[in-house]
Amino acid sequence: SEYTPAHWKTREWISGFTGSAGTIVITAGQAGLWTDSRYFLQATEQLQDSGIDLFKMGMPGTPTSREWLAGQLSTGDCIGIEGAVFPASEVLDWIRFFEKHQIHIRTDFAPYNILWKNRPEIPKHPVYLLPETLTGLSAQAKIEQTRLAMREKGANLTIIATLDTVAWLFNLRGNDVEYNPTAVCYAIISENEAVLFISSEKITKEVSDNLQKQGIQIADYSTIVDYVRQKTTSAETSLLITPAKLNYQLYEAINPQTACIETDVHPADQLKSIKNETEIAGIRQAMQRDGVALVKFHRWLENALAAGETVTELDISTKLREYRSEQKQYAGESFETIAGYAEHGAIVHYGATQESNAVIQPQGILLIDSGAQYLDGTTDITRTIAAGPVSDAMKTDYTHVLKGHIALASARFPKGTKGIQLDVLARQFLWKNGTNYLHGTGHGVGHFLNVHEGPQSIRMEHNPTELQPGMVTSNEPGLYRAGAYGIRIENLLLTVPDQTTKFGEFYAFETLTLCPIDTKLIDTKLLNPEEKDWLNHYHQKVYQLLSPFLSIEENSWLKQATALVE
Amino acid sequence: SEYTPAHWKTREWISGFTGSAGTIVITAGQAGLWTDSRYFLQATEQLQDSGIDLFKMGMPGTPTSREWLAGQLSTGDCIGIEGAVFPASEVLDWIRFFEKHQIHIRTDFAPYNILWKNRPEIPKHPVYLLPETLTGLSAQAKIEQTRLAMREKGANLTIIATLDTVAWLFNLRGNDVEYNPTAVCYAIISENEAVLFISSEKITKEVSDNLQKQGIQIADYSTIVDYVRQKTTSAETSLLITPAKLNYQLYEAINPQTACIETDVHPADQLKSIKNETEIAGIRQAMQRDGVALVKFHRWLENALAAGETVTELDISTKLREYRSEQKQYAGESFETIAGYAEHGAIVHYGATQESNAVIQPQGILLIDSGAQYLDGTTDITRTIAAGPVSDAMKTDYTHVLKGHIALASARFPKGTKGIQLDVLARQFLWKNGTNYLHGTGHGVGHFLNVHEGPQSIRMEHNPTELQPGMVTSNEPGLYRAGAYGIRIENLLLTVPDQTTKFGEFYAFETLTLCPIDTKLIDTKLLNPEEKDWLNHYHQKVYQLLSPFLSIEENSWLKQATALVE
């Protein structure tokens, strides 16, 4: 999971470091934390007097943790790790690496239950059923689709160890993980069995009846290791796994005699990424509700700033949550709101704290990236707004980002196209000006599931997954001037069929997100007629789809915010 | 090699099929030729009464040759192939595939010397030295660069089996292969040896003296297999190979105990692709000479058509060769000219024959793709011209291709960018209109070497090689209306440094090719001001750099051909 239940936060327990990424390595005499540039400052503070050294990943001269360890240890030494919390692909890499040094890796080293006083339990929140009126397909039908895809790969057994995939497959949702409506569990699918491995305390009678009616068995969470061991003894077993998404403990339980078919993308993840008509209809409705909340929020913010009220970054998070929670089907935020005023906007993963919490001044740029979970869809939107007067340079930067956003939103491309092929459309105007952003342009988004889901992406990096009709992907170019301001404009895109000609099938994008794009930051001289057309059409659509749900005052604010750009 | 000396054309000898791609499979009772759609018609004709069945690759229902063979053969059967003419990577794939069926592959099956009466000999044309004034670097310096790159990969020995790489490395050129100025040979580089394996008949005293002065040994072509066998017995040997570019006979000679480092791109190929200042200066001069020849040619063609003379596709090849051969440093064509009038232009790999040779009519579209070898550079250019009145649809198509050509030529991008990321720039206007072209947008071009060279490319397919300053790559979007006409506009691009900002290093392209782009085919309403600027600047540069070498009459033609587009 992107978010880890407290039970597994052993890195934080050992070190006090609360960042979302890092590796702790401890030898008899030394200890180190490896983390990336987002967390250099935070880690330096949190590690003070801990006896743990900070290793700044990606800086020249910093060894990788394995290189460092190879230097510390001698032939015959043994490294202990907890196999259950590392991906098999990574552990296999380590084993290969340390084999050369004749250093052994023990993968059952997990002393935390004994050492960690008051260790939080594995969360046990009840799971609930998402009805077919929202999912569009029964669990049974999804299992059959998965089996068909397994057969195409020559497999008759598979392990699913990603929480959102199990949630999608069985039409279940949970509350074990922050922001992701998922539960701690596993699934195994074979030609004649479908088993959900989950703590019985999470299962109500309603859920149990429903699953059993669909032929799904329920087994205790802890029994999966034995189950894998038993099921992989038959010579007829052909097991499909995704080593990057399977923990090493389960990988190790597979009988070495079993034929393993490895894949980078599990067929169930591929199926999950292509939303069906019911899911798409739900997402459209969630976008309308989210848009209504956003209009109320933006109107409130504009008025508060104009009236000289004190508004902080944390107030923005609170207000967004308030307006969204008034909407039907609301089920929480889809991630922690990023409200970054001025230089805070340039910190890509900024989250305001009581200490950093800035007051919005009536000038300059404010970046707000937020999203919600609704029972019928997940939203993720970034808007960058003028808090007051802005400089020409800010307008130029903003307009270049907007031009890239429009170019990607307007893309039309043949079947078979991958995200890396379209990424330049969003970056081209920045590149011509010697600027860039180092994050991806687009990530997949779940249907009332994880706000970051695969397998597709739109990035500078290669990803073999093709963009297909039904996929929902973000469009979020940005530009970050360190110490000054950050700009990002993000909508969600649905891949849709475009045209079929003698040259083949072509696809296009439909923008799903409904919220005005701040025109006060646009240098209209830099937009060509087609770009202005796109913006005006988008604003027209936003107005048409949101105005029926707004008061007269809100409507008049929206009318102005979506006024024609000429 | 892209072009095969007659000695190795065993497929043609067996079948009579003269296409450039295909595989012949013969069993005790049957025989088949597998080839791709370019050659379906030709193969059908040439295989008539041969007893060889045609298998149309890529058509639904056509088995691959290995699938078909697996169906024909039984456990214990044996397949014979000539290891010396297949890449190691391919043979290893076959061996793995047929292992499952318990079918053995013999890789020393080469009965052609006995069966093939009057088999052509391996070509024995003399090689010659390309002086440092043209190459910019001595062979010795290039060998040291290669050794440095080998060390970085942990290798102390490497085999180079691609003719153009050996030619580049030792500053040698030859005449053994059509269009490519290369000789049949191999090279082996170790920490203290550099050996050229070549028939002694090809080596003059001058070449031999020069190589020996630089510490390069010369060994007979046939001795390389034994050399590889001997050199790979030491435990200290760490051998760098590119299995896709090494024939299986040499791969098999490697001692199985030897540590092999496999790479997709040989470091020498990487070095070769980045042209040095001397090579770039040479290429610029070759472009000027080629441009002068092209102006003379286009003026002749325009006048001939206007005067109602009979001009055929083959006349065009002849005239181009004539005008080019008048230029200094001319050393031949770099590939067979494609002159395709009307529907012939839509056949991407068209080569006019006496049978197909069309007369150019005073209407419609003519596509001409041609190139030359000069001692200081290789050219490759496509122009599409109006032979007379053209339809509005033709103009729209042409202008969309031109817009893509301009977008790619104007690209500016960060260090690290790969061809697949920029490819959409050339295709975007076609995709919006439901059109496309199925070939690559750009291939590398050698310095007085192969007109198609790696490792970089600009294509819809993934290629991990980054575009780097000094690389020369083609920019050739096209559009093909089957049965009607073909359009392609091709210039060569040099990657150059653009700017360095807080966001990193940025690169851009400089267009090297100098020849007017036919403006009679442009619908200027479809060009935006930036695109017109690009075209006018390009034409201004063409005029400035070519006019000093032209007669008054030629100059006045060029003035008109490069007149401002408004």
pLDDT in tens, B405-460: 999 999 999 999 999 999 999 999 999 999 999 999 999 999 999 999 999 999 99
| Helix/strand/coil percentages in chain B, nearest 5 | 40, 20, 40
- Give me the residue from A412, A422, A436 closest to B414, CB to CB: A436
**Residue B29 CB coordination number (10 Å):** 6
Say whether A436 and B503 touch across the interface (CB within 8 A).
yes
For B219-233, the pLDDT digits (tens) are 999 999 999 999 998
| Whether B179 contacts B335, CB under 8 Å | yes
Q: What is the mean pLDDT of chain B?
A: 96
Task: Write down the pLDDT at residue A394.
Answer: 98
> Of A157, A116, A150, which Cα lies nearest the Cα of A254?
A157
Task: Write down the pLDDT at residue B38.
Answer: 85
Tokens representing A231? 């099921």
Task: Write down the pLDDT at residue B235.
Answer: 80
| Whether A71 contacts A225, CB under 8 Å | no
A346 touches chain B (CB under 8 A): no
Task: Write down the pLDDT at residue B60.
Answer: 86
Name the minimum distance, in Å, from the CA of B184 to any CA of chain A.
37
DSSP state of A518: -
**Residue A112 CB coordination number (10 Å):** 16
Distance CA A407, CA A426 (A): 6
Task: Write down the pLDDT at residue B1.
Answer: 79
| Whether A409 contacts A493, CB under 8 Å | yes
Say whether A420 and B421 touch across the interface (CB within 8 A).
yes
**Scanning every residue of chain A, which has its alpha carbon at the shortest distance from the alpha carbon of B465?**
A462
For residue B78, list its beta bridge partners. Answer: B104
| Whether A295 contacts A558, CB under 8 Å | yes
Distance CA A293, CA A298 (A): 9
What DSSP assignment string belongs to B259-317?
Answer: EEEE-SS-HHHHHHHS--HHHHHHHHHHHHHHHHHHHHHHHHHHHHHHTT---BHHHHH
For A215-271, the pLDDT digits (tens) are 999 999 999 999 999 999 878 899 999 999 999 999 999 998 898 999 999 999 999
Distance CA A243, CA A247 (A): 8
DSSP state of A258: S
- Give me the residue from A435, A462, A499 closest to B434, CB to CB: A499
For B220-278, the pLDDT digits (tens) are 999 999 999 999 988 889 999 999 999 999 999 999 889 899 999 999 999 999 999 99
B154 touches chain A (CB under 8 A): no
* Residue A360, SS3 per DSSP: coil
* Residue B457, SS3 per DSSP: strand
| Whether B115 contacts B277, CB under 8 Å | no
Sort out which chain A residues have CB atoms less than 8 A from B464's CB and list them. 462
Say whether B506 and A431 touch across the interface (CB within 8 A).
yes
Say whether A424 and B413 touch across the interface (CB within 8 A).
yes
Tokens representing B160? 């180079």
For B467-509, the pLDDT digits (tens) are 999 999 999 999 999 999 999 999 999 999 999 999 999 999 9
Say whether B428 and A411 touch across the interface (CB within 8 A).
yes
Choose from A397, A436, A495 for mutation: most chain B CBs within 10 A: A436
ipTM over 0.90 threshold: yes
For B148-160, the pLDDT digits (tens) are 999 999 999 999 9
**Scanning every residue of chain A, which has its alpha carbon at the shortest distance from the alpha carbon of B438?**
A503
B425 touches chain A (CB under 8 A): yes
Distance CA B108, CA B105 (A): 9
- Give me the residue from B435, B504, B506 closest to A503, CB to CB: B435
| Whether B223 contacts B199, CB under 8 Å | no
Say whether A431 and B412 touch across the interface (CB within 8 A).
yes
> Does pLDDT of B302 surpass 90?
yes
A20 touches chain B (CB under 8 A): no
Say whether A421 and B421 touch across the interface (CB within 8 A).
yes
| Whether A300 contacts A331, CB under 8 Å | no
B111 touches chain A (CB under 8 A): no
**Residues 218-257 in B contacting A (C-alpha not used; CB under 8 Å):** none
Which run of H or E residues covers position B8?
A: none
Size of interface A-B (CB pairs under 8 A): 71
Say whether A428 and B411 touch across the interface (CB within 8 A).
yes
Task: Write down the pLDDT at residue B350.
Answer: 87
**Low-confidence residues in chain A, pLDDT < 50:** none
Say whether B462 and A464 touch across the interface (CB within 8 A).
yes
C-alpha Rg value of chain A to the nearest Å: 25
Sort out which chain B residues have CB atoms less than 8 A from A499's CB and list them. 434
> Does pLDDT of B25 surpass 90?
yes
Name the minimum distance, in Å, from the CA of B516 to any CA of chain A.
26
Distance CA B376, CA B130 (A): 9
Say whether B424 and A424 touch across the interface (CB within 8 A).
yes
Sort out which chain A residues have CB atoms less than 8 A from B418's CB and list them. 462
For residue A260, list its beta bridge partners. Answer: A239
Sort out which chain B residues have CB atoms less than 8 A from A418's CB and list them. 462
Per-residue pLDDT band for B349 (boundaries 50, 70, 90) equals: confident
User: A59 phi and psi, to 5 degrees?
Assistant: -85, 145
CA dihedral B352→B358→B364→B365, nearest 10 degrees, is 10
Name the minimum distance, in Å, from the CA of A441 to any CA of chain B.
13
Name the minimum distance, in Å, from the CA of B85 to any CA of chain A.
32
Say whether A424 and B422 touch across the interface (CB within 8 A).
yes
B412 touches chain A (CB under 8 A): yes
Which residues does B168 contact at the CB level (< 8 Å), separation at least 6?
B142, B268, B272, B446, B447, B449
> Does pLDDT of B531 surpass 90?
yes
Name the minimum distance, in Å, from the CA of B522 to any CA of chain A.
20
A436 touches chain B (CB under 8 A): yes
